[in-house]
Amino acid sequence: MIIWVMKFTSDALSLIDEVYNLSLEAKKIIHQYVHKTPLITNMTLNNIVGRTVYLKLENMQKTGSFKVRGALFKIYKLIQEYKSRGEPLPGVVAASSGNHAQGVAYAARMFGIPAIIVMPKTASATKINATKSYGAQVVLHGEIYDEAYEKAIEISRSKNYVFIHPYDDPMVMAGQATIGHEIIDEISNPAAVLVPIGGGGLISGIAVAIKKRSPSTKIIGVQPENAAGMLYMLNNKLNEYIPRPSIADGVMVKKPGDLTSKIVRELVDDIVIVDEESISYAINFLLERAKIIAEGAGALPIAALLSKRYTPLKDPVIAVISGGNIDPTLLSRIIIHELAKDHRLVSIVGELMDRPGELGKVIEVLARHGLNIVDIRHDRWDPRLLPSMAKLEIIFEAKTLTDVEEALRELRSKGFKFIIKS
């Protein structure tokens, strides 16, 4: 379903040529500094999708995401530009609490250039420490991104540092385009490439490289329902766009790029939208079945394939797993959520006589059905309970729903009424 009108405007075409030419230069230098990431298949995924799906593992990239590619090439070009004027590059500055922060910090250190990263005060300790560990100076400012951005611009002016935009810059896009080149170097004519979209730098770069070298390949963007800014922008409805929190926080932007949206309009064949449940499912699927840690943004292409929001018609398909920097607490919540959805972590509630031995009888039944108890919660204070009764919630691990249903049946036959907590 193509929702927007394709318009081959001359300024978009010259921008595409500019990014492509820069990407050929980026391709030559990038592997001195960052990994050529693996392209792997997974049999379970292939069987479910019914196609051969290759995963491009940017979660295994230096700093845990593709972002370092664009930052690296941008800083490389800045150093060249300053050198040609006989000046050293004073430093770089960026505003980000996510992968861009780490990418810029790492890239600057590679070239021995000072870097200041402005993060909102709300940024997690994990992200602040990761950015510092790459040698950047971290300035905490403001509550939200916009305030951090203002501060970064102020620093850029006062110290003469160059502001590195996270996506709306041809050099940044050219750096991300090296992913497209790596794909085509290995698989000359894929049927489709699925790419997460935030501001649009990643998909613009990839689309430029791939459409030039393999014009029949479909480029499919994926956005979360809660943060589908690019789709709104292409439909000229950006004024109606209100981003909501998403597990895919890496692609949450207030406004997609002006330059990137020109390229997306020309080269991207479709944008599909996925909901939060399918992103959660995709993260857990990658972890459990493919042993891959993806952050929400990185799992978007798999969410699109598993939820059938995108059904590929030909082989092979490439899914760009753009990053793996997921907070361990969020990952653990996702695992528990998915286990509960799959009835492998179950909570049952019921009432029983508050006297010695009753709980033991219940536990004995659960044990016999192979259900491993992880928590028991007692409540005697609920005013609706008779004084002789206790309310009980038991949380346990199960292998199948059948085991749970059989245990509940046996409990009922023994006079204990328990139900699965929904």
Burial (CB < 10 A; 0-12, 13-18, 19+), residue 269, is middle
DSSP β-bridge partners for residue 183? none
Nearer CB in complex with ligand PLP: 276/405: 276
Site for ligand PLP in 42-101 (CB under 6 A): 65, 67, 98-100
Nearest to 45 by CA among 316, 387, 340: 316
Scanning 39-47, 199-207, 269-277, 368-376 for contacts with ligand PLP by CB under 6 A, the matching segment is 199-207
Residue 201 is a binding residue for ligand PLP (CB under 6 A): yes
Burial (CB < 10 A; 0-12, 13-18, 19+), residue 382, is exposed
Residue 297 is a binding residue for ligand PLP (CB under 6 A): yes
Instruction: State the minimum distance, in angstroms, from the CB of residue 201 to ligand PLP.
Output: 3
- d(C-alpha 244, C-alpha 276), whole Å: 11
Q: Which runs of consecutive H residues, i.e. helices, occur in 255-399?
A: 258-267, 276-290, 300-306, 328-341, 358-368
Residue 170 is a binding residue for ligand PLP (CB under 6 A): no
DSSP β-bridge partners for residue 390? 352
Instruction: State the minimum distance, in angstroms, from the CB of residue 251 to ligand PLP.
Output: 5
| Contact assessment for residue 99 and residue 323, using Cβ atoms and an 8 Å cutoff | yes
Residue 196 is a binding residue for ligand PLP (CB under 6 A): yes
Instruction: State the minimum distance, in angstroms, from the CB of residue 342 to ligand PLP.
Output: 26
Nearer CB in complex with ligand PLP: 301/350: 301
Residue in 301, 312, 323, 350 binding ligand PLP, rule: CB under 6 A = 323
Nearest to 283 by CA among 243, 228, 253, 326: 326
Nearest to 204 by CA among 281, 112, 120, 267: 267
Instruction: State the minimum distance, in angstroms, from the CB of residue 269 to ligand PLP.
Output: 16
Instruction: State the minimum distance, in angstroms, from the CB of residue 169 to ligand PLP.
Output: 10
Residue 279 is a binding residue for ligand PLP (CB under 6 A): no
Q: In the numeric block, which tokens belong to residue 171?
A: 């050099």
Nearest to 248 by CA among 314, 195, 206: 195
Nearer CB in complex with ligand PLP: 197/404: 197
Residue in 75, 123, 152, 202 binding ligand PLP, rule: CB under 6 A = 202
Site for ligand PLP in 350-389 (CB under 6 A): none
Residue 197 is a binding residue for ligand PLP (CB under 6 A): yes
Instruction: State the minimum distance, in angstroms, from the CB of residue 300 to ligand PLP.
Output: 8
Residue written as token pair 């990239």: 61
* Nearest residue to the partner ligand PLP, using Cβ: 323
What's the start-to-end Cα distance of the chain, in Å?
36
Residue 167 is a binding residue for ligand PLP (CB under 6 A): yes
- d(C-alpha 198, C-alpha 297), whole Å: 9
Q: At what angle do helices 67-84 and 10-29 cross, to 10 degrees?
A: 90
Active site residue ranges:
67, 322
Residue in 91, 180, 199, 316 binding ligand PLP, rule: CB under 6 A = 199
Residue in 120, 170, 190, 250 binding ligand PLP, rule: CB under 6 A = 250
Contacts to ligand PLP by CB under 6 A: 65, 67, 98-100, 166-167, 196-203, 250-251, 295, 297-298, 322-323
